Chains A and B, each alone.
Chain A
Amino acid sequence: MAVTASLTGTHPVISGPSVWRGGVVLVATFLAMPVIVILGFLLVPAGEVWQHLVSTVLRDYVLNSLLLMLGVSIGVLILGVGSAWLTSMCRFPGSRLFEWSLLLPMAMPAYIIAYTYTGLFDFAGPVQSLLREWTGWGYGDYWFPEIRSLEGAALMLSLVLFPYVYLLSRAAFLGQSLCVLDVSRTLGNGPWRTFFTVALPMARPAIVAGLSLALMETLADYGTVQYFGVATFTTGIFRTWFGLDSTAAAAQLSAVLLLFVFVLVLLERGSRRSARYHHTSQRHQALRRYPLTGWRGTGAALFCFGILFFGFLLPAGQLLIWAATTAEERLDGQFLSLVWHSLELAGIAALLALALALILGYGRRLYGNWAVQFAVRIAGMGYAVPGTVIAVGVMIPFAAFDNGLDSWMRNQFGISTGLLLSGTLAALLFAYLVRFLAVSLQTVEAGLARIRPSMDEVSRSMGAGAAETVRRVHIPMLKGSLVTALLLVFVDVLKELPATLILRPFNFNTLAVRAYELASDERLADASLASLTIVAVGIVPVILLSRSIGRSRHERTA
């Protein structure tokens, strides 16, 4: 509360808790609208569809989803935390290169990597065919990991989602003062013990934030699991909607998914409860990198290279070969307009998401009573919901508003206003915000958490106003997080498919739409140019991202 008082003071910059609170709740509620619409379906009777689901397939949906989450958790933690620790604390052959290149898999949409791996490692693919040619084996004579399986899906998702954990935990490791680690070492802890007892617990909020992003994305994934024939909760939602023709039951399944995520979030918050993750040391000494030589160095380099190879080089190489040999797609003006549309949407959505995340994040930090907390939580839940479901949640209230206004205008003035919002880019952007706000919010909040409340107090007691405190203390400390938030949403929107597909206006296509249309028609090779372009366009922000993390460290230690 001291912070609240000190930051508000007499300055007009932040004009009072109630206005802030009201604004935050309003914004959050607006963003939560699609989620509320979906939850509202819980009240609609779905008849005996539920009985059918419970007695046949529901158990599989739940079990597979949980197993998938477990697999992805293990995968992203090992890949993400391991590589983050190595690249931020140690020096080994290629460590500079891996610092940024380990982010590259993020540019790869999960369903695309699934297609390329299937193309390569399936029974009829080149790898196994070659194996049979060499050995003379036939079907059933040997064991080969089945890529299109639950484990395969977990692997695919881990390979493209681990960068969330990598990114956030690396930022946390870099932000840790060496003093703390040195204390641990002088107390007789070895490097492993220091890692597990000091560095890891201190980085926990960041790691959990990354993990929860990866898991929410996993729950929302449809393309990969559907292609691999793994029946999860998400494929179940679509089967119920499309196949059983029951919108209500499908929406109720989505609502159950939402409640599940909500409980998870609460559990995580609860387990953290009163623990704080600020450094209390006054000295923040720059990290000295621990040189790894000999087999350790080689091992570290191989570990990182392996991730880079399987998460990026291999699938991108396959796409490149397809694009060069069999694709019919041409780089013409039409194709360039796809690129432009993708960039335009991703750019605007990223900026808006950042602005909203700042409003909500600060609102929570400064005036976070229960209403604000709750509203912000709900607003961030869209990330775990499949894009198609979010899109329906956007479509229904927007169309209701449009049609309501239209009827009213017709009655009152005899003018038809038609559809003002439905079928516009505004509706699509709104859907992106609902879906991806969690990403920018998590990142911004992780950044805000690093600014100790006492820093505000010090700044204020030294005579700096609220605005000056924000400018001179918060912005420099937050810069890395802000850039991260911006770029993460940018890349996510670039890859986004289902909401774009349903909500976009006439004659408006994006790279993801083009790639999907061809791939879903089982023309993988033709889809490769668009896929490759998504990856290529996504690489630029990813590189910027890694540079910004590196730079923010130098600035902080300078």
Chain B
Amino acid sequence: MHFGPLTLRLLLISSLCLPQLGLTAEGEVNVYSARKEKLIKPLLDRFTEETGIQVNLVTGKADALLKRLQSEGRNSPADLLITTDAGRLHRAKISGVTQAIQLPGQNKVIPESYRDPEGHWYGLSLRARPILYVQDKVDPAKLSTYEALADRAWRKRICIRSSDNIYNQSLVASMIAADGSERVESWARGLVGNFARPPRGGDRDQIKAAAAGICDIAIANTYYFAAMLDSKDQAQKAAAGKLRVFWPNQQGRGTHVNVSGVAVTGSARNREKAVRLILFLLNDDSQQWYADINGEYPVRPDVPVSPTLEKWGTFKMDTLNLSRLGELNPDAVRLMDRAGWK
């Protein structure tokens, strides 16, 4: 094909200046997603296949997407906001960019802690943040709670990532909700004293470090551990194979969990289709997909988990309403700053 200079220029101008899909036609849903494309697009494609409704997607960091929603205001093209933790969903609700949706059927199947009490957001999938221990170095009978990880017995034996990370911020927020700020701060100081090395890298790195002998305990999210166990990379598989899952706080409030969830935006022009998409993401097949492909726990307890997860057994999850994680997040960060958790 040959483009003359004028055609080219016209193409250029039109591609630059037309707000791409700024005004949506019939049959579309626009999604801002903090969930990575690879971990959501396959489901969205299925939805399009089944319903003929096209899904337009922008992925990005939750806070940036939230900022974008806020500054775009009532003209925002987004219909749905998907984030990977409840804290951000709560933040979205507080800043007034979401709207309440009533899904009476779903309220029966989604446990109360994993959705907003007023219906501003719904959890889609769950992950837990358990203690992982090196099998031949740690006697699981010595493990009990997150709180107990501050004991001197674990000196130089724990690997955990930086407190910059939302997973640790949420974990600490959940502990503040249970134990109060003061106790958690002295706990954090104790934990920092037990670090085998200054925090660096991601969750997988902690698992690898434990497998390599740097530490005996790693704290990491379940789906990273599952992904490593199921990995095609033999080194990752072997590293993860040396560790086992321990579910902490089973005698008390349960193991810390967080959700990936979805909210309908206040500016949604395709509200009805957006709700259809939410229901689709909550149906049996989609829930099964989270379990099988992402190694997550379905938010609906009635959907079975993947074989890898099944081996770890069932456990008691912390039932704290996850909105609290968002409320307590700034407190958690300050506390970790004070405790010297890098």
| A-to-B contact residues, CB < 8 Å | 52, 56-57, 118, 122-124, 129, 138-139, 148, 226-229, 231, 235, 238-239, 241-247, 326, 328, 348, 388, 391-392, 395-396, 399-400, 402-403, 406, 416, 418-426, 429, 498, 501-509, 513-514, 517-518, 520-523, 525
* B71 / chain A contacts, CB cutoff of 8 Å: 395-396, 399-400, 422
Residue of chain B at shortest CB distance from A500: B60
CB distance from B172 to the nearest CB of A (A): 11
* B208 interface residue (CB < 8 Å to A): yes
Report the bound CA distance from A505 to B78 in whole Å: 11
Please name all residues of chain A whose beta carbon is closer than 8 Å to the beta carbon of B208 when the two chains form the complex.
122, 124
Collect the chain A residues with CB atoms within 8 Å of residue B64's CB.
388, 391-392, 498, 501-502
Assuming the contacts A425-B15, A517-B36, A522-B202, asked whether A243 and B209 have C-beta atoms less than 8 A apart, the reply is no
Q: Tell yes or no: B125 within 8 A of A by CB.
A: no
Interface centre among A235, A418, A508 (most CB of B within 10 A): A418
**Residue B301, interface by CB 8 Å:** no
Residues of chain B contacted by A418 (CB below 8 angstroms): 19, 22-23, 75, 77
Asked whether B22 lies within 8 Å of A419 as measured between CB atoms, the reply is yes
CA distance A362 to B261 in the complex (A): 53
Q: Does residue B143 face the partner (Cβ distance < 8 Å to A)?
A: no
The answer to the question of B42 belonging to the interface, with a C-beta cut-off of 8 Å to chain A, is: no
B201 touches A139 (CB 8 A): no
Are A56 and B337 neighbours in the complex by a CB distance under 8 Å?
A: yes
Question: What number of B residues sit within 8 Å (CB to CB) of A?
Answer: 66
Query: Chain B residues with Cβ under 8 A from A129's Cβ?
Result: 212
Chain A residues, Cβ within 8 Å of B141: none
Asked if B46 is at the interface of the complex by the 8 Å CB criterion, the answer is: no
Question: CB within 8 Å of A: which residues of B?
Answer: 12, 15-23, 30, 36-39, 56-61, 63-65, 67-68, 71-77, 91, 161-162, 164, 166, 169, 198-205, 208-209, 211-214, 224, 227, 232-233, 239, 329-330, 332-334, 337-338, 342
In the complex with contacts A229-B200, A517-B59, A522-B224, A424-B19 CB distance below 8 A: yes
Contacts A245-B330, A399-B72 supplied; 18 other A-B pairs, CB < 8 Å:
A52-B334, A122-B208, A124-B214, A229-B161, A247-B67, A395-B68, A403-B72, A418-B19, A418-B75, A421-B19, A424-B20, A426-B17, A501-B59, A501-B60, A502-B60, A505-B21, A517-B59, A520-B36
B30 touches A506 (CB 8 A): yes
Nearest neighbor of A398 in chain B, beta-carbon distance: B71
Return the contact of A521 from the options B20, B39, B65, B161 (Cβ within 8 A).
B39
- A57 adjacent to B233 (CB under 8 Å): no
Pairwise interchain contact B57-A507, C-beta atoms closer than 8 A: yes
**Closest chain B residue, CB of each to CB of A48:** B334
**Which B residues touch A507, using CB under 8 A?**
21, 56-58
* B337 close to A57 (CB less than 8 A): yes
Distance in Å: Cβ of B20 to nearest Cβ of chain A: 4
Closest to A53 in B: B337
Given known A243-B169, A506-B21, A506-B77, contact A522–B203 (CB-CB < 8 A): yes
Chain A residues with Cβ below 8 Å from B205 are 118, 122, 124, 522
Complex Cα distance, B239 from A123, in Å, reads 13
Q: Which residues of A contact B23 (CB under 8 A)?
A: 418
- Cα distance A419–B224 in the bound complex, in angstroms: 39
Residues of B within 8 Å of A525, CB to CB, are 233
A122 to B71 alpha-carbon distance, docked (Å): 42
The chain A residue sitting closest to B13, CB to CB, is A426
Find B330's partner among A244, A328, A506, A523 (CB 8 Å cutoff): A244
Q: How far is the CB of A154 from chain B (nearest CB, A)?
A: 15
Q: Are B22 and A423 in contact (CB under 8 A)?
A: yes
Determine which residue in B73, B161, B209 has the highest number of CB atoms from chain A within 10 A of its CB, and name it. Answer: B73
Q: How far is the CA of A402 from the CA of B74 in the complex (A)?
A: 11
Inter-chain contacts of A513 with B (CB < 8 A): 59
CB distance from A75 to the nearest CB of B (A): 21
In the complex, which of the residues B68, B73, B201 contacts A229, with contact meaning CB atoms closer than 8 Å? B201
- Contact flag A425-B201 (CB < 8 Å), given A239-B333, A241-B63, A247-B67: no
The smallest C-beta distance from B336 to any residue of chain A, in angstroms, reads 9
**Which residue of chain B has the shortest Cβ distance to A245 in the bound complex?**
B330
The 8 closest A-B CB pairs, nearest first, are A229-B200, A506-B56, A243-B333, A505-B20, A399-B71, A124-B212, A124-B208, A56-B337
Question: In the assembled complex, which residues on chain A have CB atoms less than 8 Å from the CB atom of B37?
Answer: 509, 514, 517
Once A247-B67, A505-B20, A522-B204 are accepted as A-B contacts, the answer to whether A138 and B233 lie under 8 Å apart by CB is: no
Which of the residues A52, A122, A517 comes within 8 Å of B38, measured between beta carbons?
A517
The answer to whether A139 touches B213 (Cβ under 8 A) is yes
Given A56-B337, A124-B211, A243-B333: A420 touches B73 (CB 8 Å cut-off) = no
Known: A388-B64, A521-B39. A244 touches B19 (CB 8 A): no
Neighbouring B residues of A228 by C-beta, 8 Å:
200
Contact B15 A501 (CB under 8 A): no
Can you give 5 contacting A-B residue pairs, CB < 8 Å? A124-B212, A242-B63, A399-B71, A424-B17, A424-B19
